[in-house]
Chains A and B, each alone.
Chain A
Amino acid sequence: MTTNIVEIDNLSFGYKGRLLHQGINMLFPRGKVVAIMGGSGSGKTTLLRLIGGQIKPSKGQVRVAGEVVHQQDREGIYKLRRKMGMLFQHGALFTDLSVFDNVAFPMRELTDLPESMIRDLVLMKLNAVGLRGAHQFMPAELSGGMARRVALARAIALDPEIIMYDEPFAGLDPISMGVVCDLIRSLNDALGATSIIVSHDVKETFLIADYVYFVADGVVAAEGTPADLMQSTLPFVHQFVHGEKDGPVPFHYPAANYQSELLTEQAQ
């Protein structure tokens, strides 16, 4: 058994002529919470999709449990995905199914467990995220934070070895954010899983992550423990961690000269 459950090796990925990642290397050790951080559009979610085998890299490889993801056929990829659970940014709950049925979905689809056992397992998973009492609700009746927790219960339904979180804190109120934050850490430790968090929420991510990768301009710009990165003097990391308006990542998107553009418009 390798120490790293996921390994990203010299990975490049691009589409429509634009190279999003260039030679990225990352390691995700078993049992750890590892975060991938970076600005919007830096390709963090794309990395999760590459790990999940939803897209193929242009160069390099992603290995999950020692298997090269993009070399697998459909069955092979599905076999690897059974080791994974994923929490999508907006939960991605099935809107025509109740909370109970959403959590039961992977169990019913992928196992032959009897319905009585599925019931007990679903209630246990919902209890773990504090929503056993909401099992009869439909997704439309849930708040954003509750929906995220139900999606988390569904992601851990089959006790995955890897749990991937896509922006788990986005759009949550402070209480829900704290709850989700605690859940990610406690579920990771309780299940003995490996968690990969994609986020740009520095405070919450640094609170629970064991190791952090910063992605910028298609490469790993910095990496280390949260404590190391807090002390980092690298301009990009400093700007990001301390939320500074201007720095290596400029406030303005590249544009033509402001004055000449205004004058040209007037002339037109």
Chain B
Amino acid sequence: MQYNLLNSIANKLRGIGHRMIERTWRLGVGARLFGLAIVYSGESFKRFNLTLREIYFTGVMSLLIIVVSAFFVGMVLALQGYNTLQKYGSSEAIGVLVALALVRELGPVVTALLFAGRAGTAITAEIGLMKATEQLSAMEMMAVNPIARVVAPRFWAGVISMPILATIFSMVGILGGYLVAVPIIGVDDGAFWSQMQANVDVRLDIVNGLIKSLVFGVACTMIALFEGFDAPPTAEGVSRATTRTVVISSLTVLALDFVLTSFMMVV
């Protein structure tokens, strides 16, 4: 009885140790892939059409979901914000509230989450299937480096697209907030814009928001690329890798957001 209990505890500890080693190993492989993507980036800039093509697939094709989501997020923010602000007699500050919430937090974070769901999964599935159907091996056998040809252009496309998408998200969100606050609720048009202009700081709010989206762009794209590259070459393997991309990207974005916000508050 006692032996069985000890054996079961040992097995559990062994399992935890095995998982820890595996996670650390994956982290190392991911970091190596990131390093190689940077080293072979020259190719994606030399043949910028490859990167442009990927910007179209990851960035332009994500525009619709970004614009529609931003519009609704902005409208809800205005509704909720007005509900609270009017209790304190400062409903004119609705423009500031919507703009700050979007530029500082919701713009970069929601864009990154949507990007992970829309473009990240597409990247993982595409690379996973390329691996499963031996397209990456074929490339290797043709003396074409898949890191330079496949990974680097997609990496830079994600890094370039994310801040642009986050900016568009914030702009459309503010427009959505304006449409609810001014024509529907009846907040003064001039007050909405002037308060926003006076209280949104370029460096503290806009630049910091852009830095966040850049970091999220690196994280989300690298996670998607790594999961695709690391996926077992089977239908189940690709499907699991795609799921992992969304889960890991989302958690990473939320954790990074906290870390970055803390640093930005201190600095």
Interface residues of chain A, those whose CB is within 8 Å of chain B, are 52, 54, 74, 77-79, 81-82, 84, 86, 88-90, 92-95, 105-106, 109-110
A54 to B146, CA, bound (A): 13
Stretch of B95-103, B131-139, B234-242 on the interface side: B131-139
Least Cβ–Cβ distance between A124 and chain B, in angstroms: 18
Which of A78, A82, A94, A110 is the one whose CB lies under 8 Å from B135? A94
CB distance from A107 to the nearest CB of B (A): 10
With A92-B134, A94-B135, A95-B135 in contact, is A52–B141 under 8 Å at CB? yes
How far apart are the CA atoms of A89 and B149 in the complex, in Å?
23
Contact call A81/B135, Cβ cutoff below 8 A: no
State how many angstroms separate the Cβ of A49 from the closest Cβ of chain B. Answer: 8
How many Å lie between the Cα of A54 and that of B142 in the bound state?
12
Q: Which of A74, A81, A84, A92 contacts B133 (CB 8 A)?
A: A92
Choose among A54, A79, A88, A110 the residue that contacts B144 (Cβ–Cβ < 8 A).
A110
B140 at the interface (CB under 8 A from A): yes
Residue from A78, A79, A92 within 8 A of B138 (CB atoms): A92
Residues of B contacting A84 with CB < 8 Å?
141
Q: Provide the residues of chain A in CB contact with B138, threshold 8 Å.
A: 86, 88, 92, 94
Size class of the B contact interface (CB-based, 8 Å): 10 to 19
A81-B140, A88-B134 known; 5 new pairs, CB 8 Å cut-off, are: A52-B141, A77-B143, A88-B137, A94-B135, A106-B142
Chain B residues 62-87 with CB under 8 Å of chain A are: none
The chain A residue with its CB closest to the CB of B140 is A54
Residues in B134-162 with C-beta less than 8 Å from chain A: 134-135, 137-138, 140-145, 149
In the A-B complex, the 5 residue pairs with the smallest Cβ-Cβ separation, listed nearest first, are A92-B138, A78-B143, A92-B134, A81-B143, A86-B141
Contacts of B141 in A (CB 8 A): 52, 54, 81, 84, 86
Q: Are A81 and B134 in contact (CB under 8 A)?
A: no
Check B142 against A81 for contact (C-beta < 8 Å).
yes
B145 CB, nearest partner CB in chain A, Å? 8
Residues of the B chain whose Cβ atoms lie less than 8 Å from the Cβ of A81 = 140-143
Alpha-carbon gap, A113 to B129, bound state (A): 30
Interfacial residues, chain B to chain A (CB-CB below 8 A): 129, 133-135, 137-138, 140-145, 149
* B133 in contact with A106 (CB, 8 Å): no
Q: Which residues of B contact A93 (CB under 8 A)?
A: 135
Cβ distance A87 to chain B, nearest Cβ, rounded Å: 9
Residues of B within 8 A of A105 (CB): 142, 144
B143 and A95 within 8 A (CB): no
CB distance from B133 to the nearest CB of A (A): 6
**Is the beta-carbon distance between A109 and B149 smaller than 8 angstroms?**
yes
Nearest residue, chain A, Cβ from B134: A92
Closest beta carbon of chain B to A65's beta carbon, Å? 14
List of A residues within 8 angstroms of B145 by Cβ: 74, 78
25 CB contacts below 8 A, A to B, read A54-B140, A54-B141, A74-B145, A77-B143, A78-B143, A78-B145, A81-B140, A81-B143, A82-B143, A84-B141, A86-B138, A88-B137, A90-B133, A90-B134, A92-B135, A92-B137, A92-B138, A93-B135, A94-B135, A94-B138, A95-B133, A95-B135, A105-B142, A105-B144, A110-B142
Contacts of A95 in B (CB 8 A): 129, 133, 135
A8 → B minimal CB distance (Å): 18
Complex interface: chain B residues within 8 A of A106 (CB): 142, 144
CA distance A81 to B62 in the complex (A): 38
Q: How far is the CB of A118 from chain B (nearest CB, A)?
A: 15
When the two chains form their complex, are residues A54 and B149 in contact, meaning their CB atoms are under 8 A apart?
no
Give every chain A residue within 8 A of B143 (Cβ-Cβ): 77-79, 81-82, 110
Complex CA distance for A82 and B135, rounded to whole angstroms: 17
The complex places the Cα of A152 from the Cα of B140 at a distance, in Å, of 16
Contacts of A74 in B (CB 8 A): 145
Q: Which residues of B contact A109 (CB under 8 A)?
A: 142, 144, 149
Whether the Cβ atoms of A54 and B137 lie closer than 8 Å is yes
Give Cα A105–Cα B139 distance, bound, in whole angstroms. 9
Q: What residue in chain B is nearest A83 (Cβ atoms)?
A: B143
A93 to B133, alpha carbons, bound, how many Å? 8
A211 to chain B, nearest CB (A): 23
Chain B residues within 8 Å of A79, by CB: 143
- Residues of chain B contacted by A88 (CB below 8 angstroms): 134, 137-138
A74 to chain B, nearest CB (A): 8
Chain B residue numbers with a CB within 8 Å of A54 are: 137, 140-141
A218 to chain B, nearest CB (A): 23
Closest residue of chain A to B57, judged by CB? Answer: A96
> Whole-angstrom distance between the alpha carbons of A106 and B149 in the complex?
12
A79 to B133, CA, bound (A): 24
A79, B141: Cα distance in complex, Å: 11
| A93 to B144 alpha-carbon distance, docked (Å) | 14
Residues of A near B149 (CB, < 8 A) are: 109
Q: Which A residues lie within 8 Å of B133 (CB)?
A: 90, 92, 95
